[in-house]
Amino acid sequence: MERESEQERIRELLKGNPKGLTIEEVSKKLGLNRSTAAKYLTSLVVSGQADMRTLGPAKLFYLTQRLPMTNLLSLASDLILILDQDLFIQEANNPFLSFFHQTKAALKGVRIEHSPLASYFGGEHLAALTKALEGEETAFETRFENEGSIRYFRTKCIPLVFEEGGRAAGIIFEDITEMKQYQHDLEEQVRLRTAELEQTNTALKKEIAEHTRAEESLARNERRLRRAEGVAHFGNWEYYHEEKRVFVSEGMRTLYGISGNEPTLDELGQITLPEYRPVLGAAVRDLIRENKPFNVEYRIQRPVDGTVVDVQSIAEYDPARKAVFGVVHDISETKRAEDAIRKATKQILLLNSVTRHDILNQLNTLLAYLDLTKKSAESNRAILDLVQREQSVAETIRRQITFTRDYQSIGIQPPQWYNVKATVAHILETTDLGGISVFIDTANLEEYADSLIEKVYANLIDNTVRHGGNVSEIRLSYTYRDEDLVILYEDNGTGVSPDDKEQIFERGFGHNTGYGLFLVKEILSITGLSIKETGHYGKGARFEILVPKGAYRFPEPSL
């Protein structure tokens, strides 16, 4: 009670001093200490009952100048509804009551969702009122249907403060039905007028059609520009070959280091380094005449600063427009990275080769000493067994090191086309088959594979010889599977047990080194080929090498 009493005294004091008082003046006039006066004044400002402004070093407080809410509501022609912080209706002006056919007595003190207005105020209105109570103003459009009449309103939900300081929200409906109707009528008039003009003015229709075509052409060009800039990140170009005219985007200007007027074809050609000009010219001609893919890497020298830049250009030909459309981007960083990787790989391979050579030399020396030890220990069975185990371990190390030599070579050289029959025949020249017959029925089949493809067939043959059992023949043939091709390697030996069909391609599985078929799988995977074993145990092994479309061919035999 003391607080309300002191605040009332301060309000009366400020009412008598409309120009405002400082904290010190209020403190002296009411006999309050300074901190108490400051506290009450701040409370009045927060509750909206007083305002404060700075006057030099002092703060000046005065009563808020405001009209009574009922007076404000009566002055407005818009529909206004005032709610407290719990969404209970507190005030509604006459236009609002008249539109909704309500009385103030029926609404005041009723929560809005329980009031006669509940069917009009949906989730959007309640969400906006909640935001207003949190201090956020929102605006949106509302459509009300009342007694068969449809009205449109521009709706605002605004935060308010009651005179005693409590939070409130106001919702204001500005009737825009006439404006909407006017807009609709205006659109209808424009439509009718346009129809009249289209019917009576042939020349104008033609001009509009030409203008539309020009806009569509411009839109297509802009889409191409955005597509090229998005894909290549730098620039695009168009070449109209009949007119010998070229267009370049701003991105390409920046990349090529050119400015000023549209460059000519000769000017662009001079920027390309001389050794690449014939390649570019041939690629453009092949694209236009034969629709061959255009994907060219070349180098340019920017005239603006003399910098040499590696670039890549990809293009397509539009016969309808007789134009070549292309994108170009800077690949200098990629080239530098490739060179660095190539050099690092070469150094690593050299180091591995030297290290492997040294280890093998030491292993050979170790095996020689073990052999001497074995001969000198023939009378001592225990030592002889130990030496034999040591020899076995050393041989395993030798095979593992040899495997690392083969494995590191996978993917080093670019893939090429290899004739299957010739590859297998070359292996057979140096392989002891122990009387096994080999039949090759692959015609002139070639596969696109890694340079180690010979090791694939060598390992399959070695697998047959070592583990096939009583094998008398090996057959190689092929068949088709949809658009792919399958190379079949079959023998008539023991075959592979069902439990081992998947494991035989895992590293370390097997009775010898455990690397042969693992190496086969890895070599094939370089160019997208795969292998699996599908034979029947007891009838022989059957390996299927799946060669996808594009990785096999049957070239005409050379004369």
* Whole-angstrom distance, CA of residue 18 vs CA of residue 279: 90
**207-249 per-position pLDDT tens digit:** 777 878 878 887 787 677 666 555 555 788 889 988 888 888 8
Encoded tokens for 181: 């109707």
- Say what the pLDDT of residue 380 is: 78
Q: What is the mean pLDDT of residues 527-545?
A: 93
Q: Which residue has the higher pLDDT, 55 or 83?
A: 83
Please state which CATH number belongs to domain 69-180: 3.30.450.20
pLDDT at site 354:
53
* Low-confidence winner among 70-74, 249-253, 494-498 (lowest mean pLDDT): 70-74
Residue range 129-171, pLDDT digits in tens: 999 888 888 999 998 887 778 889 999 998 887 766 678 898 9
**Section 454-480 average pLDDT:** 91
Taking residues 289-307, what's their average pLDDT?
89
Question: CA–CA separation, 67 vs 6, rounded Å?
Answer: 24
The pLDDT of residue 163:
66
Listed residue (258, 260, 238) closest to 248, CA to CA: 238
Q: What whole-number distance in Å separates Cα of residue 160 and Cα of residue 119? A: 24
Please write down the HEC assignment for all residues of 29-82. Answer: HHCCCHHHHHHHHHHHHHCCCEEEEEECCEEEEEECCCCCHHHHHHHCCCEEEE
The topology under which CATH files domain 416-553 is Heat Shock Protein 90 (3.30.565)
Using pLDDT thresholds of 50, 70 and 90, give the confidence band for residue 195.
confident
pLDDT (tens digit, 9 = 90+) per residue, 474-489? 999 999 999 999 999 9
Residue-level pLDDT at 184 = 84
Q: What is the rounded average pLDDT of the residues 416-443?
A: 92
- State how far the alpha carbon of 508 is from the alpha carbons of 109, 275, 296, 514, 525, in Å: 85, 51, 44, 4, 18
CB-side neighbour CA atoms (13 Å) of 521: 14
Using only C-alpha atoms, the chain has a radius of gyration, in whole angstroms, of 46
Contacts by 366-373 with C-beta closer than 8 Å and gap 24+?
Answer: 366/394, 367/391, 367/394, 367/395, 370/394
User: Residues 6 or more apart from 362 whose CB is under 8 A from it?
Assistant: none
Fold topology of 216-329 = Beta-Lactamase (3.30.450)
Contact 326, 314 (CB under 8 A): yes
> Amino acid identity of 1?
M
Q: Which is more confident, 60 or 346?
A: 60
Q: Which residue has the higher pLDDT, 408 or 100?
A: 100
Better-predicted residue by pLDDT, 388 or 513: 388
Question: Which residues, other chains included, contact 479 with Cβ-Cβ below 8 Å and sequence gap of 6+?
Answer: 485, 486, 488
Tell me, what amino acid is at 234? Answer: F
Tell me which long-range contacts 299-308 makes (C-beta under 8 A, separation of at least 24). Answer: 299/272, 299/273, 300/256, 300/271, 300/272, 300/273, 301/271, 301/273, 302/256, 302/257, 302/271, 303/257, 303/258, 303/271, 304/257, 304/258, 304/259, 305/257, 307/257, 308/273
Chain mean pLDDT for the chain? 82
Distance CA 478, CA 482 (A): 13
Only one residue has tokens 């009045």, namely: 44
Q: Which residue from 558, 553, 533, 528 is spatially nearest to 442, judged by alpha carbons? A: 553
Q: What gap in Å lies between CA 269 and CA 258, rounded to an integer? A: 13
Q: How far is CA 431 from the centre of its chain?
A: 52
Q: CA-to-CA distance for 420 and 433, rounded, in angstroms?
A: 19
Over residues 373-388, mean pLDDT? 75
- Which range of 131-135, 343-347, 510-514, 543-547 scores highest in mean pLDDT? It is 543-547
Name every residue whose Cβ is closer than 8 Å to that of residue 262 and which is 6 or more positions away in sequence. 246, 247, 248
pLDDT at position 67 is 45
What is the CB neighbour count within 10 angstroms for residue 540?
21
Per-residue pLDDT at 551 exceeds 50: yes
- CB neighbourhood size of 265 (10 A): 14
Question: Alpha helix (H) ranges present in 134-201?
Answer: 177-200
What number is the average pLDDT over the span 486-502?
Answer: 91
pLDDT of the residue at 72: 57
Over range 307-336, report the average pLDDT.
Answer: 88
Domain segments of the chain as ranges: 2-63, 69-180, 216-329, 336-408, 416-553
Three-state DSSP at 116 gives coil
Candidate from 349-358, 407-416, 505-514 with smallest mean pLDDT: 349-358
Distance CA 325, CA 224 (A): 9
Instruction: Please report how many Cα atoms fall inside a 13 Å half-sphere around the Cα of residue 388, on the Cβ side.
Output: 8
Question: What local confidence, expressed as pLDDT, does residue 385 receive?
Answer: 76
The alpha helices in 414-512, defined as continuous H runs, are 420-428, 453-467
pLDDT of residue 70 exceeding 60, the answer is: no
User: What is the CATH code for 2-63?
Assistant: 1.10.10.10
Topology agreement, domain 69-180 and domain 216-329: yes
- To 5 degrees, how large is the angle CA 5–CA 10–CA 13? 125
Strands (E), 319-442: 323-330, 416-419, 437-440
DSSP 8-state assignment for residue 21: B
Q: What is the pLDDT of residue 478?
A: 97
pLDDT at 335 over 50: yes
Q: How confident is the model at residue 514 (pLDDT cuts 50, 70, 90)?
A: very low
**Quick check: 544 pLDDT over 90?**
yes
Q: What pLDDT was estimated at residue 510?
A: 57
Q: State residue 288 phi and psi, 5-degree precision.
A: -70, -45
| Strand residue runs (E) in 118-274 | 138-146, 149-161, 167-175, 235-240, 245-248
Kindly give, in sequence order, each residue whose CB lies less than 8 Å from that of residue 227, ignoring residues fewer than 6 positions away: none
Percent of the chain exceeding pLDDT 70 equals 83
**Vertex 342, ends 505 and 276: CA angle to 5°?**
120
**pLDDT class of 407 with cuts at 50, 70, 90:** low
